[in-house]
């Protein structure tokens, strides 16, 4: 009986030591996010355009992830729909490659983003007439 009690005490002590060492090392409570930034930027925004051709306009906008890596689709920009843009998650930049849109529009631009705001400076042609805009999307 003494051997059994001694064995149980040793096992209990060993378990307590292992538990203490494991708990004292701690586990980080910092959440782990995916390496890309697409999912964190997708969502509903309020767009605010300041354009040389149309002045200031404000409108709701949905930004969604594209089916391509690091690409987003901007639901609206100065009344233009489905603008494709590429994100660089390493330096928080956004690029709108040169693209032709319905209604004889052509646009391109660059900008930056944070978790709650995207700012894009872009240029375009509307029926051959140049214009420039700064668009701010806020959550």
Q: Give residue-wise pLDDT tens across range 123-135.
A: 999 888 999 999 9
Where do the domains of the chain lie? 38-138
Q: What is the signed CA dihedral for 106, 112, 114, 117, rounded to 10 degrees? A: -40
pLDDT at 123: 94
Q: What is the pLDDT of residue 25?
A: 43
In the predicted structure, residue 31 carries a pLDDT above the cut 50: no
Lowest mean pLDDT among 26-30, 36-40, 105-109: 26-30
Average pLDDT over residues 13-23: 36
pLDDT confidence of residue 111? 96
**The two structure tokens encoding residue 42:** 């997708």
User: Could you give the CA distance from residue 56 to residue 120 in angstroms, rounded to a whole number?
Assistant: 15
Residue 55 scores a pLDDT above 90? no
pLDDT at 3: 53
Torsion of CA 46, 80, 99, 139, to 10 degrees: 10
Greater pLDDT, 76 or 47: 47
> In whole angstroms, how large is the CA radius of gyration of the chain?
27
Per-residue pLDDT at 60: 83
> What is the predicted pLDDT for the residue at 58?
83
Which fold is adopted by the domain 38-138?
Answer: Lipocalin (2.40.128)
What's this model's pTM, rounded to 2 decimal places?
Answer: 0.68
């Amino acid at each position: 009986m003494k051997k059994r009690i001694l064995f149980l005490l040793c096992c209990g002590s060993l378990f307590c030591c292992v538990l203490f060492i494991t708990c004292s090392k701690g586990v980080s409570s910092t959440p782990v996010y995916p390496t890309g930034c697409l999912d964190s930027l997708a969502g509903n925004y309020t767009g605010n355009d300041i354009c040389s051709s149309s002045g200031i306009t404000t409108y709701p906008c949905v930004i969604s992830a594209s089916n391509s890596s690091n690409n987003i689709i901007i639901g609206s920009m100065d009344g233009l729909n489905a603008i494709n843009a590429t994100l660089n998650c390493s330096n928080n930049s956004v690029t709108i490659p040169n693209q032709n849109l319905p209604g004889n529009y052509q646009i391109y631009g660059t900008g930056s983003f944070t978790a709650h705001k995207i700012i894009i400076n872009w240029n375009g042609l509307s029926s051959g007439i140049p214009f420039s805009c700064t668009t701010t999307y806020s959550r």
